[in-house]
Amino acid sequence: MSEFLQHIVNGVSVGTNYALIALGYTMVYGVLKLINFAHGDVYMVGAFAGYFIAHAIGVAAEGYEPSLFNTALVFVGSMGVCALLGYLIERLAYRPLRDRPRLTSLITAIGISFLLEYGFQLPAWAGLPIEFPPGPSPRFFPELFPRTVWLEVWDVAFSNYDVIALGTALALMLALQFIVYRTKFGVAMRAVSFDPNSAALMGIPVDRVISITFALGSALAGAAALLMAISHPRIDPLMGMMPGLKAFVAAVFGGIGSVPGAMVGGILLGLSEEMVAGYALSSFRDAIAFAILIGVLLVRPEGLFGRRTSEKV
């Protein structure tokens, strides 16, 4: 029983992380009908941004006293860097191609992905205050605060990391849910998602809505990266590939374009991975995500929460 519960805890923990990344995929798909394959690499950049900020404010130094302020600074700073990166990617790479066939943007997304993955593996430029690009070898994310066990029920350990990760992720998802469904900007975003041409006729600045959508989605990837990095501190330039792909699967599973779908899809994917690894074969952990993708595409291509697109005139 306690083993099962522990798997649930771990699964939800990984799952919320996938969910946060999946939200970025689903939001961008919603407004642009584009799978932003560079999104996993934005996540990676988020981890490195956090790493550099943490070093800059002395988190890695001897005798560092953990402080809530510094932790928040790392989080917010890294989300900000990701938001800016997402904005720039859209502005420089996707917007000029908006009127071209969809495939052009898709290939560009893969190009951006490679640019970030391999650009970050280049040797550091001389003369920069930070060691950037970080190069190919893994780095260790400094400890923002020590791990402690907060709660033990039936031999299941809840560490402060688990609780904080879950709490932060849920808070961010609720905030996003609020923005999308309860604010004027959210209505504009959903209008752009349905029909950008008609949205413009309402006076909605479509380009700005798309920019903000990219920035929001990318900031969530930054948060996901930090939540992951505090418990799995090994970071490297290719770290975004697998979570990126799996979060994409989660988004498709939940129904791409659907915000609640991305959340549920992420958590279900995390749970299934954990269950497969725990009770079947741990080497199948990665395979299950793609098995789910194939299954969803065969059985219910619109996903759990997706709407079947009908061409109604």
List residues binding another protein (CB under 8 A): 184, 187-188, 190-191, 193-195, 197-206, 307, 313
Q: Is the dihedral of CA 311, 207, 45, 231 positive or negative?
A: negative
65 or 99: whose CB is closer to another protein? 99
CA-to-CA dists, residue 112 to 94, 116, 180, 215, 223, angstroms:
10, 6, 27, 16, 21
Query: Whole-number minimum distance, CB 180 to another protein, in Å?
Result: 12
In angstroms, give the least distance from the CB of 190 to another protein.
6
Torsion of CA 18, 97, 198, 310, to 10 degrees: -60
**Shortest distance, CB of residue 131 to another protein, whole angstroms?**
43
Dist CA 228 CA 236 (whole Å): 13
Cβ–Cβ under 8 Å, residues 222 and 23? no
Smaller CB separation from another protein, 65 or 311: 311
Element (H, E) at 151: strand 149-153
Q: For another protein, give the closer residue by CB, 179 or 200.
A: 200
CB 153 → another protein: shortest distance, Å? 42
Q: Which is nearer to another protein, 199 or 225 (CB)?
A: 199
Residue from 131, 159, 143, 148 nearest 63 by CA: 143
**Angle at alpha carbon of residue 186, lines to 184 and 190, rounded to 5°:** 120
Classify residue 194 as exposed, middle or buried by CB count within 10 Å of its CB (0-12, 13-18, 19+).
exposed
**Of the two residues 118 and 194, which places its CB atom closer to another protein in the complex?**
194
Q: Which is nearer to another protein, 234 or 307 (CB)?
A: 307
The amino acid at 63:
G
DSSP code for 282: G
Strands 139-140 and 149-153: unpaired
At closest approach, how far in Å is the CB of 104 from another protein? 18
Cβ 188 to another protein, closest distance in Å? Answer: 7
CB of 64 to another protein, least distance (A): 48
Report the residue number, 102 or 307, with the smaller CB distance to another protein: 307
Residue in this structure with the two tokens 């990760």, named with its chain if needed: 165
